[in-house]
Structure 1
């Protein structure tokens, strides 16, 4: 039978298939972890988190979480909010001559500030080797940061300081508008002309300054009618006195637009030049954010790092199912009963028996989810001194396996699952079976499970 262990985006085999992740509610755990992040890159990493295959990677991630938890205990943590995921933006700007909108440039500027603040925070904070090394690997981009700071305001607009030419053009535009408004205001308030207008109002039609002339006063003031009201009672007149001023204003506005485009192209070129560094910095900051999120999650359910052992041993003391403790977004330790799960060295099977609703399935799911958590670099809710073997593979047969589409009964579904497990399981495999002999005669089901255990 083909190996159905799912393949992740890096073409690395995972420890279990997607169905097992769903049965053990791993996506829900990821959502809780994502809720503890501060940045968009960190949030995306949490949402996409999968158990690591390499044990060295697992232990490094756990150590980074240990370091982050140490900072939190001291009341310290970097502020990482305001950093955006720039992945698509950086891809879109790779072509020469690509343009980046002002809103996206603002995101780059905000992300740069967060990255630089993060880098400096670790530089001045008590040293913890692994997480600090992530910050050390971040590269400052002073030129790009300065140019964006000079060019983009906090609302996503181009500043006058973006270039001398832009500042000068905008000054001329303000002066032109002021002169036009003065001329129109003088016309609206003049002794001989004020009665010709519907109201004392200067407005814009077709990008030109106009005044509201009464329709029955047409021809009494020289100018061009740019528009009229729906009722036909008002004509929006551009008096001849401001014709030249409006023309000059339109010319200045077009020059402003050309200068703005030139600046945006220049800034896009700088982002394109530094795109590789920006991408690397984003990845490093996202990882830092993920580790601090894991530390905050650990604090919320009083988690710790179990001792990882080479022997096939499980000694989980006073452990709880983390999702059972979550109540309306907060963790309540009293909401889940603590249990000890012990599997001594040399013991290859653990049978959990008891009455219905006694917690047998919860214990199995707890063990499976805790393995996924440790392999994901997360602390688990257990007492200090707990020991755990980092099993390489995980198989789960929990719940009803029947399939109407494939004409499988509950018992047939379990049989197929067991056949798959027996064909692939080895000494590095953790197998969780929950009532796998159900759906048939109790004696036959018991005999089946006994043969599997043997």
Structure 2
């Protein structure tokens, strides 16, 4: 049976209002907040919502703006960060850090509004004053998480050292194999004079009919079946060393992600609070832009509904 709230939404075509507001919202965080909206008869809440939208509208009128299109709802990730031994993925860490970064940017705007704002914006300041300062928190992560989902060498001295060793080992293996390939090419044994990788091990392509002439381990064949990929005996130990280094690199990456996740967990509550504030801020921007485009005016609320003292 429909509740009174459901009847109110239908009579007011509130779902249509939500749909219109969603068109002005660019992030998952803001869209979630808009979908939570429902009609209210709480005079204090109504007055506060109108005041926030009015102040943000004035901010837009002065040329101000604030983008939050990249923000996602990270509530579940923050919960995961608090599980002992959990390690968030790099992409997940970046999503959470985006919240902290945008919160710092908005906090700076809210606490230092443009001088052109008539009367300031007390409602926006009150909304934003619960935001934590994430400057030091973000500094630990700066430059360590890359957009392609990998860790920068600067993530730790040990990671940088391992990657240097890995590159050195790769060069040595490739040099050994190129020398070996030149020798085989003279007898027409190899299909192509190139070095490739199969299962993190460097191999060479050999014609199927010539594979018995190359002592080594077969690591598969081409789709045509005319070529096999062989790891010569001469480079097995070198490849073993490379695999060992790669395993150490993966272990170091996991250790770094564990440390980063723990740092996230220590700030989980302030980050969740920041997400809630940013969601509300995006709602107010959506309302203000909607009001601007549809030439809306702020309604005059009767005394019975107004929370302002006489």
Fold shared, TM-score > 0.5 on shorter chain: yes
2:197 maps to 204
CA shift digits 1:143-187 (9 cap, x unpaired): 431222232112222111111111111111111111111221222
Q: 228, 231, 240: which one pairs with 2:233?
A: 240
Q: Provide Cα deviations, 1:49-87, integer angstroms capped at 9, x if missing partner.
A: 112342111111111111111111112122223222111
Counterpart residue number, 1:153: 146
Seen in structure 2, the aligned counterparts of structure 1 residues 231 and 74 have a Cα distance that, compared at 3 Å, is closer
* Secondary structure at 2:301 match in 1: strand
Unaligned ranges ≥5, structure 1: 7-15, 312-388, 391-454
Q: Contact 2:185–2:193 (CA<8 Å) still a contact in 1?
A: no
Q: Deviations over 1:183-221 (max 9, x none)?
A: 212222347646210112212223211101122223333
Residue by residue over 1:302-343, the C-alpha shift from the partner in whole angstroms, topping out at 9 and shown as x without a partner, is 1111111136xxxxxxxxxxxxxxxxxxxxxxxxxxxxxxxx
Provide the rounded CA distance (Å) in 1 between the counterparts of 2:24 and 2:187. 64
Partner of residue 52 from structure 1, selected from 33, 36, 40: 40
Distance of 1:191 and 1:157 partners within structure 2 = 38
1:231 is displaced (CA, Å) by 4.9
Do structure 1's residue 41 and structure 2's residue 29 form an aligned pair?
yes
List per-residue Cα deviations over 1:346-391 (Å, max 9, x = no partner). xxxxxxxxxxxxxxxxxxxxxxxxxxxxxxxxxxxxxxxxxxx78x
Query: Are the equivalent residues in 2 in contact too, given 1:30–1:46 (CA < 8 A)?
Result: yes
Distance 1:260 1:290 in 2: 38
| Alignment check: 8 A CA contact 2:205 2:230 kept | yes
Aligned mates of 2:24, 2:223 — CA distance in 1: 55
Q: For residue 175 of structure 1, what is the aligned residue in structure 2?
A: 168
Conserved 8 A contact 1:187-1:194: no
Aligned counterpart, 2:17: 29
SS at structure 2 position matched to 1:307 = coil
Is 1:290 matched with 2:279?
Answer: no
* In the alignment, structure 1 residue 105 sits paired with structure 2 residue 93: yes
- Root mean square deviation of aligned Cα: 2.1
Flag the 1:293–1:192 CA change in 2: closer, same or farther, 3 A: closer
- Does 2:216 match 1:223? yes
Which SS does the other structure have where 1:46 is aligned? helix
Q: 1:133 aligns with which of 109, 123, 126?
A: 126
Gaps of 5+ in 2: 115-119
**1-structure distance, mates of 2:187, 2:132:** 65
Q: Secondary structure at the match of 2:143?
A: helix
**Structure 1 contact 34–44 (Cα < 8 Å) conserved:** no
Q: What CA distance in whole angstroms lies between the structure 2 residues aligned with 1:156 and 1:218?
A: 39
SS of the residue corresponding to residue 159 of structure 2 reads: helix
Residue from 35, 38, 58 that aligns with 1:70: 58
Are the equivalent residues in 2 in contact too, given 1:224–1:237 (CA < 8 A)?
Answer: yes
Contact 1:35/1:43 (8 A) holds in 2: no
Match of 2:112 among 121, 124, 137: 124
Q: 1:123 to 1:234 in 2, by over 3 A?
A: same
Q: Look at both structures and tell me which one has the larger radius of gyration over its CA atoms.
A: 1
Q: Any conservation in 2 of the 1:187–1:193 contact (CA below 8 Å)?
A: no
What is the deviation of 1:115? 1.5
Whole-Å Cα distance in 2 between the matches of residues 110 and 288 of structure 1? 15
What TM-score does the superposition give when structure 1 sets the normalisation length? 0.62
Residue 232 of structure 1, CA deviation = 4.2
Partner of 2:253: 260
Q: Distance in 2 between matches of 1:157 and 1:234?
A: 33
CA distance in 2, matches of 1:134, 1:194: 78
Does the CA-based 8 Å contact 2:33-2:283 persist in structure 1? yes
2:207 is the alignment partner of 1:214: yes
Query: Which residue number corresponds to residue 115 of structure 1?
Result: 103
> Shift of the alpha carbon at 1:91?
1.7
Alpha-carbon shift at residue 34 of structure 1 (Å): 1.8
SS at match of 1:85: coil
CA distance in structure 1 between the aligned counterparts of 2:133 and 2:86, rounded to whole angstroms? 24
Compared CA separation, residues 68 and 216, structure 1 to 2 (3 A): same
